Structure 1
């Protein structure tokens, strides 16, 4: 596969680290988000302009989402949930710019899931203490210990596979559509690929935009649920 070839390598302590396209795309997204935030908060106004108003709406929406689904006690997770939501949104919509979404690569989806998993377990230990954290695995009955351990360990797999599978399926469907339209264009001997210009738009609206936003929402909702339920277990 062409995407399996690294774009370049970084040598760190004598170890060659391959840098693939999905990593570069994530760097571009992070650079854009950081630049936007720096511009947005460079000079805050009492009477906000359009850009500041948009930023305030995003922050307020994320805060309300956390409050409604987790409660006031967990409002401290709003920055993490917000960052995760924005980052996932940009990654899932990146095929609109002619690139495969980074989340269609399982390593990216798994990395995000592991990050959420570590936060979930760390918060549970912080809230309940290490002793109670491990004792909870044997509740409500001691014979449930193996099942509770499996249930806890399957969280990153569940999060990552759900995100990766749905995004990849949408990408494949859109790519097959373009190939089919290209084939029809070739059969009809049309010099301009007019079929590939207008017809894919509805499919992009559903599979790229709608599905991308839905998968982002599912991922952050499950993350919030796991944080709350694991902490209160």
Structure 2
């Protein structure tokens, strides 16, 4: 949504491709988590040190989160759910360092939603077989098949609009607050927004991550067990 802010462009095979701020921010987050994962899992020991203990705590928390919400038989999803939690949370919290959250860009929110959508469909086919998967569209009665198809197609739309809308609203409110404080003093801009950042950046960013992740897991469970 809105005009793309390209940091640089590359020409490949006669076509020019622009790389926006949001793409670069996502690359930075991916590289950062990649480096951290290597550092925290290097030289694993039976008796964990501090770094290994942190890594194990994250894995155990994610494992418990998946089991308690959709059941023990879905622990195969722990790597994806853990990655989704960390990646979404990191993107949503970039406002704390003065960078607009990438999830304010609808293309980013839609990309995340489509990724979850395809993970859900592929995992469901893997679990129940392609025949049973397509038969599920006709349950509980065959004439509801069009409604079931529409419901699944609208999932990425619903996920993306919810994430995009809430993150954009929070960032817009913070921008209005800073604009309103311009006429007072620089000290007002420095101090007054702090509790608002706690709510609109940390709390709202965490809530949107939880909602997105929970809806992904619940939809997967519903489709697999339909």
**TM-score of the aligned structures, taking structure 2 as reference length:** 0.95
Matches within 5 A, 1:1-233: 4-185=4-185, 193-233=186-226
**Equivalent residue of 2:9, what SS?**
strand
* Structure 1 residues 9 and 30: CA distance shift in structure 2, 3 A: same
Q: Is the 8 A contact 1:124 1:227 kept in 2?
A: yes
* Structure 1 residues 84 and 168: CA distance shift in structure 2, 3 A: same
Cα separation, 2, equivalents of 1:140 and 1:48? 50
Shift of 1:2: 8.7
Q: Is the 8 A contact 1:3 1:20 kept in 2?
A: no
More displaced, 13-22 or 208-217?
Answer: 13-22
Cα separation, 1, equivalents of 2:101 and 2:150? 30
Shift of 1:3: 5.7
More displaced, 129-138 or 160-169?
Answer: 129-138
**TM-score of the aligned structures, taking structure 1 as reference length:** 0.93
**Equivalent residue of 1:147, what SS?**
helix
Shift of 1:72: 1.5
Cα separation, 1, equivalents of 2:83 and 2:37? 11
Query: Structure 2: where are the runs of 5+ without partners?
Result: none
Shift of 1:46: 3.3
Q: Is the 8 A contact 2:41 2:55 kept in 1?
A: no
More displaced, 8-17 or 52-61?
Answer: 8-17
Structure 1 stretches of 4+ with a deviation exceeding 3 A read none
Q: Is the 8 A contact 1:40 1:51 kept in 2?
A: yes
Alpha-carbon RMSD across the aligned residues, in angstroms, is 1.5
Q: Is the 8 A contact 2:95 2:201 kept in 1?
A: yes
